[in-house]
């Protein structure tokens, strides 16, 4: 089956499904259920974005669903606005509340975040109950109108179905597009490793709020679907914490991070209670027991199960074989001729130019009484490889963290080419041209090798949320260019052919190379490496050394922290030695090697027995 | 503002606060031991309430014996819970565990409904229903019982953790599991005991609060959420914090719902929660936790 | 007393130890040295049972302990003073010490009291801090407490992981004095240290690790005089010097 036929397959199936279904389902009851499932599915898709993509546990999704339902219900019943206007209101009012939730919870994660979202949801529900003048309180709002197309009222469930189905298709399409786009990757980077996302150039604050707003908007739209179909009646009881839990279970059952999974989960858990009617009261118990069992045995949900089955695997490979990504990667690979042609050699005869790139003055970091860094002055010259060494606890990593914006210095100034970068946020420092790797490898583990490197280019690309969802030609061109560049860097570090492997699955040494690639792809002026040789064997270390020389040849300045002395002595043009947070020596490798104070600090001073 | 009403409210607030404190304590002990937030903790108070009502109303077992049986039952319950809901997931990330404990909570809620019916049940009072006149203030004697029992229990707990070797081993396990193992402390046993004790705290809370409200399957949910707020208020992970947080929340709730708005009574706990999370996320006594780069 | 044969251990995705063999005889102080990341701490963790060896054999007093759990290893007579001390921060000095006696199921209260008194003889500075909480102590005091807690177990073998880490030089002096003293009193010690010189001054023998393997093994006196030691720590090996020449000439050639 060639590509163009494959491309037409999905839309064809969808068209058929949308048109045929109402003819197969004759009872209004089941049609109502389908509409209800779709309403939940859209809300679930939203949850999938904030939780599955961005990793933020939100237990307020039902509240946003309610806000959407109520916004539209109020506007259409009390103010007589057309239902389509209510649709926009539902989405945007809910999104606004999503922003309201996102802002105060930025610094929270895990249980604290979950708790805060629960609280937010409960407060919203209480407002719905008590603002009687607006929402009619517990009585709820009745006689919510159906939408009209021209002179045709979509009153019957079978008619409303078309609206619901088309909306579902559009919202799903958006969610799927989002996953493989700049914004989607930013979300996933935050989920996988927020710290590394920041240093790779992602403005985590902005994107977290965006995730909340977008997912709330989705939920709001789902609420609109709910209000204007089914019983045409809403009351606050429906939008409770329990409902948020149900939405969460739907999302996780379907498979966290899978858009199609969300639809499957939502449909299953809407239909199931009806089909299991015979269980009567014990239904909820089975449901709950099922949740526990699924968490123990199937934590990746249905999507995960399908992916791991051989059938699912083959289906995926067949489907992805001709995908845009694969074609672009293949195209880029054919352009690369030899390793030397990989990166344009921007030879700047910098070595020996003595031009200062980075200046550090009086840098200090105190953690309470602990003086991790205690007044350090340093200079890094353009084009050189400088090493920062010292025994455990001497402050090396703390300095790197301050240089990359992860710690705020207690005192001191950091200047990059005349611009002060002290106290700046990590993604801004990255934009200035500083990239780093981490001591404990911070890759975006569940993402592919290629995606890891693409995220590294986040700061050098532009696609907005709208562009990421609708994917106009300009966005697709940008993606293609990014992929080409990613391929070049992967070739450079020796990871060609592994583009679609999961980052986690790489052997340790290759993971280090990937982290290096991610840092390089952002076109940095200064590369900060935190123990790049840790855990590498002799052969891998030698390969690393070669790579470092080549990076330097391309005009990139390197500051590295290392314990492997053979690497340091071999590679560095200049060495700075720290001990107890202070600089005790600096100079060339020979000078440092023979410095008595350095020898004492490392080998240990012979303390005289008093 | 007549001060006798205010004092009445203080008593009511302290009483409810004690209940929150007991449940919050259950949260915190489990969290300290195994780094898991048990979203079913509220149900740990609901289940024993039902059990106690059944023992007293259907089997006519006297109050004192009921308490003993219920407490033992919950102790065993805690150990079973740990084996089913926590143990298989102990190495996973926090999302599966959160969902799993939520699932157990729902299971218990609906199980209670099936076994005991959907009608709210009334728990026989151990104290008389007539208000006591204390210094001109009329106080429901059950409040006094709650506050006193909580104090006694906390006193016993303090003694246990401060003076007995077993208590110290449990504290050690919660503070540094690996080091405890290196000393030969049987960490698995310590964790089981922690869960059992947490459940017993729930039993006490359930039996104490039962006579004031009706015993329903929903009673655990709000108590659980508010107890969680109390724990965060006090500094999640801090034992005295959980207690103080609970008492504080109980009193604030009563006063706020009287002076500000009774309709939003349930909201105050969460408004305070969000404020705390915004302004001082470590609560009264907690420590700031920063991620290591 | 303690023997390791061909032990291999993985730490996450990395093979931290690649076949280590060493031995400690009764009454000795043996030093385990090496640069950061060489595998010293992993070796200790494998002996104590916190990590499981994937290959090889560990023997203690004739008994195979390779597969034993950490709690059981503590009971058969191996105590550990771990890297970073790991004092229970919320418990008092006394409590920390008493918890150290956990493996001693059969000893009487009198014996334990004797050992407590003995502890305060060796560390008189901690007498006034008896009821202070762990987090209130200074680094040096915590180290003393950790050593004392290890001693309270009455164990025959004491593993010490980087006791001098983060301590001021004068405290380091104290710590090593104490280690010598407790060894004289009969405890066998396997000592992991960054401060190689200080360790070798009190040790009988030493093993030097590099990237998970034993590179040097000799008496302490021989190791102190060994030039290769300096190389292992400030590694400018011969072939490395060549590579450096190559780079230098490359730069000068531009």
Question: Which neighbouring-strand residues pair with B63?
Answer: none
SS3 C213: strand
- pLDDT in the model for residue B292: 46
Checking if the pLDDT of A323 tops 80, the result is no
Backbone angles phi, psi at C7, to 5 degrees: -75, 135
Checking if the pLDDT of C38 tops 90, the result is no
- Chain C interface residues (partner A, CB cutoff 8 A): 13-14, 35-37, 164-166, 169-170, 172-173, 176-177, 193-199, 201, 211, 229-230, 233-237, 240, 243-244, 247, 251, 254
Residue C239 structural domain: 2-253
- Chain B interface residues (partner C, CB cutoff 8 A): 165, 168-169, 171-172, 175-176, 178-187
If one counts the domains in chain C, the total is 1
Checking if the pLDDT of C190 tops 60, the result is yes
Q: What is the CATH number of the domain that holds C106?
A: 3.40.50.300
Beta-sheet strands, E only, within chain C: 2-11, 14-24, 29-34, 55-60, 63-64, 78-81, 157-161, 188-192, 205-210, 213-219
C142 reaches B (C-beta below 8 A): no
User: CB C50 to CB B179 under 8 A?
Assistant: no
CA distances from residue A610 to A3, C29, C122, C169, C229 in whole angstroms, order as listed = 83, 22, 17, 12, 27
- Residue of A540 and C184 predicted with greater confidence: C184
- Chain A interface residues (partner C, CB cutoff 8 A): 349, 351-352, 391-393, 507-508, 511, 534-535, 537-538, 545, 549, 563-566, 569-571, 589, 593, 598-599, 602-607, 609-610
Q: Which residue has the tokens 């919320």?
A: C90
- pLDDT in the model for residue C194: 77
Residues A493-530 pLDDT 10s: 999 888 889 998 888 889 999 999 999 999 999 999 99
- pLDDT in the model for residue A1: 54
Contact A237, A11 (CB under 8 A): no
The pLDDT of A130-142, averaged and rounded, is 87
Q: What is the DSSP string of C117-136?
A: HHHHHH-GGGGGGTTSBGGG
- Residue of A438 and A6 predicted with greater confidence: A438
Cα–Cα dist A322/A330, whole Å: 10
Closest to C240 (Cβ–Cβ): which among A566, A604, A607?
A566
- Distance (Å) from the alpha carbon of B35 to chain A's nearest alpha carbon: 10
Q: H helices of chain B, where? A: 3-34, 43-53, 63-81, 94-116, 141-163, 165-175, 177-182, 187-209, 219-234, 239-259, 265-279
Backbone angles phi, psi at C135, to 5 degrees: -70, -15
User: CB B185 to CB C102 under 8 A?
Assistant: yes
DSSP state of B131: P
User: CB A108 to CB B277 under 8 A?
Assistant: yes
> Would you give the distance in Å from CA A84 to the centre of its chain?
33
Nearest to A516 by CA among A533, A502, A535, A500: A533
- pLDDT in the model for residue B5: 82
What interface predicted TM-score (ipTM) does this complex get? 0.85
Phi-psi region of B238 (alpha: psi -120 to 50; beta: other; left: phi over 0): beta
- pLDDT in the model for residue C44: 93
Residue A598 belongs to a domain:
yes
- pLDDT in the model for residue C252: 59
Cα–Cα dist A180/C150, whole Å: 55
- pLDDT in the model for residue A515: 96
Closest to C86 (Cβ–Cβ): which among B165, B179, B187?
B179
Give the residue extent of every domain in chain B. Answer: 3-220
> Would you give the distance in Å from CA C228 to the centre of its chain?
23
SS3 A587: strand
- pLDDT in the model for residue A303: 87
Beta-sheet strands, E only, within A382-487: 385-389, 411-416, 419-420, 434-436
The pLDDT of C52-80, averaged and rounded, is 91
- Distance (Å) from the alpha carbon of A608 to chain C's nearest alpha carbon: 8
Among the ranges given (A80-94, B123-137, C68-82, C145-159), the one the predictor scored with the smallest mean pLDDT: B123-137
Instruction: Kindly state the tokens that stand for A540.
Output: 């891998």
Cα–Cα dist B241/B236, whole Å: 7
Band of residue C247 on the pLDDT scale cut at 50, 70, 90: low
User: CB B95 to CB A401 under 8 A?
Assistant: no
Residue A536 structural domain: 352-433+524-610
Band of residue A148 on the pLDDT scale cut at 50, 70, 90: confident
- pLDDT in the model for residue A102: 92
- pLDDT in the model for residue A606: 54
Contact C16, C54 (CB under 8 A): no
Q: What is the 3-state secondary structure (H, E, C) of B107-119?
A: HHHHHHHHHHCCC
Instruction: Kindly state the tokens that stand for A494.
Output: 């020796």
If one counts the domains in chain A, the total is 2
- Distance (Å) from the alpha carbon of B44 to chain A's nearest alpha carbon: 16
- pLDDT in the model for residue B185: 92
User: CB A104 to CB B266 under 8 A?
Assistant: no
DSSP state of C92: B
The pLDDT of A417-446, averaged and rounded, is 93
Q: What is the CATH number of the domain that holds A408?
A: 3.40.50.300
Band of residue A61 on the pLDDT scale cut at 50, 70, 90: very high
Checking if the pLDDT of A487 tops 50, the result is yes
> Would you give the distance in Å from CA B125 to the centre of its chain?
20
Band of residue A99 on the pLDDT scale cut at 50, 70, 90: very high
Checking if the pLDDT of C104 tops 70, the result is yes
**Angle (CA) A74 A78 A81, round 5°:** 80
Residues A30-41 pLDDT 10s: 888 899 999 999
Contacts of A5 (CB under 8 A, 6+ apart): none
Q: Where is A322: in which H helix or E strand?
A: none
Q: What is the 3-state secondary structure (H, E, C) of A130-161?
A: HCHHHHCHHHCECCCCCCEECCEECCCHHHHH
- pLDDT in the model for residue A44: 95
The pLDDT of C174-198, averaged and rounded, is 88
A to B CB pairs, distance under 8 Å: 118
Band of residue A344 on the pLDDT scale cut at 50, 70, 90: very low
- pLDDT in the model for residue A107: 82
User: CB A603 to CB C173 under 8 A?
Assistant: no
User: CB A288 to CB B225 under 8 A?
Assistant: no
Contact A510, A537 (CB under 8 A): no
Checking if the pLDDT of C245 tops 70, the result is no
Checking if the pLDDT of A174 tops 70, the result is yes
Contact C158, C188 (CB under 8 A): yes
Cα–Cα dist A44/A246, whole Å: 10
- Residue of B292 and C116 predicted with greater confidence: C116
Phi-psi region of A233 (alpha: psi -120 to 50; beta: other; left: phi over 0): beta
Checking if the pLDDT of A288 tops 50, the result is yes
Checking if the pLDDT of A402 tops 80, the result is yes
Low-confidence residues in chain B, pLDDT < 50: 289-293
- Distance (Å) from the alpha carbon of A531 to chain B's nearest alpha carbon: 13
Q: Which chain C residue has its CA at the smallest distance from A571's CA?
A: C244
The pLDDT of A58-70, averaged and rounded, is 94
User: CB B184 to CB C50 under 8 A?
Assistant: no
Q: Which residue has the tokens 């926590």?
A: B86
Residue A402 belongs to a domain:
yes
Among the ranges given (A260-269, A473-482, C235-244), the one the predictor scored with the smallest mean pLDDT: C235-244
Nearest to C42 by CA among C77, C15, C63, C21: C15
Checking if the pLDDT of A471 tops 70, the result is yes
Interface mutation target, options C41, C163, C193, C195, chain A, most CBs of A under 10 Å: C195
Band of residue A336 on the pLDDT scale cut at 50, 70, 90: low
Buried b (16+ CB within 10 A) or exposed e, B252-275: bbbbbbbeeeeebbbbbbbbbbbe
Q: What is the mean pLDDT of chain C?
A: 84
- pLDDT in the model for residue A340: 46
- pLDDT in the model for residue A562: 87
Band of residue C210 on the pLDDT scale cut at 50, 70, 90: confident
CA distances from residue C218 to A518, A564, C188 in whole angstroms, order as listed = 45, 23, 18
User: CB C35 to CB A564 under 8 A?
Assistant: yes
Band of residue C232 on the pLDDT scale cut at 50, 70, 90: low
Q: What is the mean pLDDT of chain A?
A: 87
**Angle (CA) A564 A565 A568, round 5°:** 95
- Which chain A residues touch C142 with a CB distance below 8 Å? none
Query: Given A234, A254, A275, which residue is the final one in a domain?
Result: A275
- pLDDT in the model for residue A599: 78
Q: Which residue has the tokens 């403005």?
A: A203
Checking if the pLDDT of A199 tops 90, the result is yes
- pLDDT in the model for residue A545: 87
Q: Which chains sit next to C, with 3 or more Cβ pairs under 8 A?
A: A, B
Phi-psi region of A421 (alpha: psi -120 to 50; beta: other; left: phi over 0): alpha
Q: Which residue has the tokens 């009687």?
A: A132
């Amino acid at each position: 089956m060639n590509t163009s036929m494959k491309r037409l397959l999905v839309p064809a199936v969808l068209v058929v499904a949308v048109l045929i279904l109402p003819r197969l389902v004759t009872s209004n009851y089941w049609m109502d259920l389908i509409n209800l499932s779709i309403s939940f599915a859209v809300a679930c898709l939203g949850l999938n974005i904030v939780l599955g993509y961005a990793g933020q546990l939100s237990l307020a999704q039902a509240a946003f669903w309610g806000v959407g339902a109520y916004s539209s219900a109020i506007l259409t019943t009390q103010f007589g606005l057309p239902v389509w206007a209510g649709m926009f209101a539902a989405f945007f009012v809910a999104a606004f509340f999503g922003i309201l939730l996102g802002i105060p919870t930025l610094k929270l994660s895990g249980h604290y975040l979950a708790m805060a979202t629960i609280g937010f949801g409960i407060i919203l529900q209480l407002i719905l109950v008590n603002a009687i003048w607006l929402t009619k309180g517990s009585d709820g709002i009745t006689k919510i109108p159906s939408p009209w197309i021209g002179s045709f009222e979509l009153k019957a469930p079978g008619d409303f179905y078309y609206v619901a189905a088309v909306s579902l298709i559009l919202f799903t399409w958006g969610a799927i597009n989002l996953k493989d786009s700049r914004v989607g990757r930013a979300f996933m980077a935050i989920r996988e490793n927020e710290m590394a996302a920041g240093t790779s150039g992602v403005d985590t604050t902005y994107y977290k709020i965006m995730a909340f707003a977008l997912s709330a908007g989705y939920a709001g739209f789902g609420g609109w679907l709910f209000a204007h179909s089914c019983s045409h009646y809403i009351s606050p009881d429906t939008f409770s914490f329990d409902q948020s839990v149900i939405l969460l279970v739907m999302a996780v059952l379907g498979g966290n991070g899978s858009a199609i999974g969300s639809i499957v989960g939502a449909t299953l858990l809407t239909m199931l209670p009806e089909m299991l009617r015979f269980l009567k009261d014990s239904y909820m118990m089975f449901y709950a027991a099922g949740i526990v069992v699924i968490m123990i045995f199937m934590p990746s949900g249905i999507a995960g199960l399908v992916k791991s089955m051989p059938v699912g695997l083959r289906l995926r490979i067949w489907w992805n074989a001709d995908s845009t990504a694969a074609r672009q990667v293949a195209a880029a690979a054919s352009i690369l001729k030899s390793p030397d042609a990989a990166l344009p050699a921007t030879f700047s005869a910098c070595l020996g130019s003595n031009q200062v790139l980075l200046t550090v003055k009086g840098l200090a970091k105190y953690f309470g009484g602990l003086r991790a860094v205690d007044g350090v002055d340093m200079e890094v010259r353009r084009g050189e490889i400088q090493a920062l060494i010292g025994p455990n606890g001497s402050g090396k990593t703390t300095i790197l963290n301050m240089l990359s914006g992860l710690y705020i210095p207690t005192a001191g100034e950091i200047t990059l080419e005349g611009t002060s970068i002290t106290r700046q946020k990590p993604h801004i420092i990255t934009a200035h041209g500083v990239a780093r790797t981490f001591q404990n490898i911070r890759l975006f583990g569940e993402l592919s090798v290629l995606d890891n490197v693409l995220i590294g280019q986040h700061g050098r690309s532009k696609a907005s949320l709208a562009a990421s969802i609708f994917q106009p030609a300009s966005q697709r061109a940008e993606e293609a260019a990014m992929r080409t560049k990613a391929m070049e860097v992967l070739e450079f570090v020796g990871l060609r052919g592994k583009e679609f492997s999961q980052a986690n699955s790489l052997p340790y040494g290759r993971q280090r190379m990937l982290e290096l690639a991610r840092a390089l792809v952002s076109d940095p002026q200064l590369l900060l490496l935190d123990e790049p040789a840790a855990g590498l064997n002799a052969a891998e270390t030698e390969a690393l050394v070669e790579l470092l020389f080549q990076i330097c040849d391309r005009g990139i300045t390197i500051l590295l922290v290392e314990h492997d002395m053979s690497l340091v002595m071999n590679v560095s043009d200049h060495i700075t030695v720290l001990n107890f947070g202070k600089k005790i020596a600096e100079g060339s490798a020979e000078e440092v090697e023979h410095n008595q104070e350095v020898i004492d600090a490392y080998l240990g001073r012979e303390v005289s027995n008093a | 503002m007549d001060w006798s009403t205010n004092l009445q409210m203080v008593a009511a607030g302290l009483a409810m606060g004690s209940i929150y404190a007991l449940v919050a304590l259950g949260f915190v002990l489990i969290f300290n031991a195994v780094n898991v937030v048990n979203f079913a903790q509220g149900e740990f108070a609901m289940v024993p309430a039902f059990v106690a009502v059944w023992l007293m109303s259907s089997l006519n077992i006297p109050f004192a014996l009921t308490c003993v049986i219920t407490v033992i039952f919950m102790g065993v319950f805690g150990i079973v819970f740990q084996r089913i809901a926590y143990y298989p997931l102990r190495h996973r990330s926090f999302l599966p565990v959160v969902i799993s404990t939520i699932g157990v909570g729902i299971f218990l809620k609906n199980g209670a409904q099936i076994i005991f019916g959907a009608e709210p049940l009334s728990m026989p009072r151990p104290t008389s229903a007539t208000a006591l006149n204390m210094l001109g203030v009329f106080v429901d004697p059950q409040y006094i019982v709650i506050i006193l029992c909580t104090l006694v229990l906390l006193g016993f707990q303090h003694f246990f953790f401060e003076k007995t070797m077993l208590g110290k081993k449990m504290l050690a396990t919660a503070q540094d599991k690996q080091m405890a193992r290196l000393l030969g402390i049987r960490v698995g046993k310590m964790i089981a005991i922690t869960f059992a004790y947490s459940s017993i705290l729930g039993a006490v809370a359930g039996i104490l609060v039962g006579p004031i409200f009706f015993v329903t399957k929903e009673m655990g949910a709000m108590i659980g959420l508010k107890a969680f707020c109390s724990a965060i208020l006090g500094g999640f992970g801090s034992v005295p914090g959980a207690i103080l947080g609970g008492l504080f929340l109980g009193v604030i709730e009563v006063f706020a719902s009287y002076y500000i708005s009774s309709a939003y009574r349930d909201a105050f706990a969460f408004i305070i929660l969000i404020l705390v999370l915004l302004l001082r996320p470590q609560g009264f006594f907690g420590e700031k936790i920063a991620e290591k780069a | 007393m303690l023997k390791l044969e061909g032990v291999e251990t993985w730490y996450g995705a990395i093979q931290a130890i690649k076949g280590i063999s060493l031995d400690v005889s009764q009454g000795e102080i043996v030093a385990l040295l090496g640069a950061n990341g060489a595998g010293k701490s992993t070796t200790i963790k494998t002996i104590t049972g916190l990590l499981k060896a994937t290959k090889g054999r560990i023997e203690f007093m004739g008994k195979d302990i390779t597969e034993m759990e950490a709690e059981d290893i503590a009971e058969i007579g191996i105590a550990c003073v771990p890297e970073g001390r790991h004092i229970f921060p919320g418990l008092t000095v006394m409590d920390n010490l008493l918890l150290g006696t956990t493996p001693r199921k059969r000893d009487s209260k009198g014996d334990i009291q004797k050992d407590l008194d003995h502890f305060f003889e060796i560390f008189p500075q901690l007498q006034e801090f008896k009821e202070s909480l762990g987090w209130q102590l200074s680094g040096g005091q915590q180290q003393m407490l950790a050593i004392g807690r290890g001693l309270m177990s009455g164990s025959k073998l004491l593993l010490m992981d980087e006791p001098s880490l983060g301590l001021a030089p004068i405290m380091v002096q104290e710590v090593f004095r104490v280690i010598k003293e407790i060894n004289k009193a009969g405890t066998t010690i396997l000592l992991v240290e960054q401060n190689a010189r200080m360790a070798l001054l009190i040790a009988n023998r030493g093993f030097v690790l590099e990237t998970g393997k034993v590179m040097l093994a000799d008496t302490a006196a021989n190791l102190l005089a060994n030039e290769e030691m300096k190389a292992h720590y400030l590694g400018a090996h011969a072939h490395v010097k060549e590579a450096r020449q190559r780079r230098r000439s490359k730069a000068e050639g531009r």
